[in-house]
Amino acid sequence: MPLGKIIKLLKGAFHKHPAESVDSLELPETENNLSMTSEENTGLVKTNVGENTLEQPSAEITQTSLPTILEEKKMINVSMLQDELQNFVSAASEVQGAALVSPDGLALASVLPGGMDEERTAAMSASMLSLGERIGRELARGSIDRIVVEGEKGYGVLVGCGADAVLLVLAGAGVKQGLLFLEVKRVVAKIAPLMG
């Protein structure tokens, strides 16, 4: 098959609707019909500027500006999350630390007691959430509201904070559970809108 016919087949295939196949294209047999103008092949429009000819995209192509893309993608302000956690830990007397973690185990923001590894704590929080949700399903308890770990030195409370984050709160043994859960609910209400 001559090279001109192959090129025409390829060009025609790219400019037809997806439902049409290469087999359905009609191939003219005359040499005069083998060459097509660049306007037909590429969708470009020629514009004369002085003696130079410029090719510009035709009006059919739409472009999305960068600000529009950035408005659609919501950005998480990490410094505001960090400030909210810092205010929460310093305001509540028995709260020793808090961490905001993504469901896949990455720390978004944290205020943890000295000696606690942020990455390890974040990974354990995500694992604890995953296991808790699985247990809730297996025991037919519905969706999990919170997961509480109670030890001799205090509590670890894990709650959902929107679809993209989990909040871990560490509290001392002397805290009243009702007040702790109320404070956790308040901080979640402040943090969830910041998650976008």
In degrees and rounded to multiples of 5, residue 123 shows phi and psi of -65, -40
Of 63, 86, 114, which closes a domain? 63
Q: What CATH number has the domain bearing residue 167?
A: 3.30.450.30
Number of separate domains in the chain = 2
Of residues 133 and 25, which shows the higher confidence score? Answer: 133
Mean pLDDT of the 166-182 span: 94
Of 56-70, 74-88, 178-192, minimum mean pLDDT range: 56-70
Indicate whether 148 and 96 sit together in one domain. yes
Indicate whether 127 and 191 sit together in one domain. yes
Domain interval for residue 56: 3-63
Tokens 């509201």 belong to residue: 145
pLDDT for residue 88: 93
Of 47, 63, 79, which closes a domain? 63
Of residues 143 and 57, which shows the higher confidence score? Answer: 143
Indicate whether 101 and 160 sit together in one domain. yes
Of 63, 78, 94, which closes a domain? 63
